[in-house]
Amino acid sequence: MPSFRTTRRVPHTAENMFDLVADVERYPEFLPLCTGLRVLRRIPAEDGKETLVAEMRVGYKAIAERFTTKVTTDRAAFDIHVSYIDGPFKYLENRWEFRPVEGGGSEVRFFIDYEFRSRALGMLMGTMFERAFRMFTTAFESRADLVYGRS
């Protein structure tokens, strides 16, 4: 069962990094393997949280898949939780946490745990996904530099 976890300190605020990751519609512009993303439903809550149901298309060369997730954003806690609904996975869980750090900037924590439904698809796409997840935090940092400027 593959999983990946990383913690990075970035020069951007926790608020800015949260906003950047919560803006899922922009992912195809900069995220590795993401070829499309469509928000199917947006459900605001009174406590400041928001839940999205989103369909992401991923692809590399001749391989193309799509999957649906529930994305819960919690602005007050600077947390984003992604849970799996449908697609080629047996399960998928993803969490982002953004914490302000003394002296400026923030600490970004990224965690993903997943397993493909098909063993053959897992073997075919597994290595590619692992490389992509390792590039995700760098892709978001580069996007933050572009959107908010380099510090």
Query: How does pLDDT run across 5-21, given as a tens digit for each residue?
Result: 999 999 999 999 999 99
* Contact call for residues 75 and 18 (beta carbons, < 8 A): yes
Amino acid (one-letter) located at 40 = L
The pLDDT of residue 70: 97
Rounded-to-integer distance, Cα 25 and Cα 39, Å = 7
The pLDDT of residue 126: 64
142 lies in which domain range?
A: 3-148
Other residues' Cβ atoms within 10 Å of the Cβ of residue 96: 23
Kindly tell me if the per-residue pLDDT of 151 is higher than 70. Answer: no
CATH code for the domain of 29: 3.30.530.20
Report the domain count for the chain.
Answer: 1
Query: How does pLDDT run across 33-85, given as a tens digit for each residue?
Result: 899 999 999 998 878 899 999 999 988 777 788 999 999 999 999 999 999 99
Our CA dihedral for 22, 24, 30, 36, rounded to 10 degrees, sits at 170
Residue 116's nearest CA partner among 107, 124, 106 is: 124
Other residues' Cβ atoms within 10 Å of the Cβ of residue 18: 23
**Which residues, at least 6 apart from 40, have a Cβ–Cβ distance to it below 8 Å?**
53, 54, 55, 68
Q: Which helix (H) or strand (E) holds 100?
A: strand 89-100
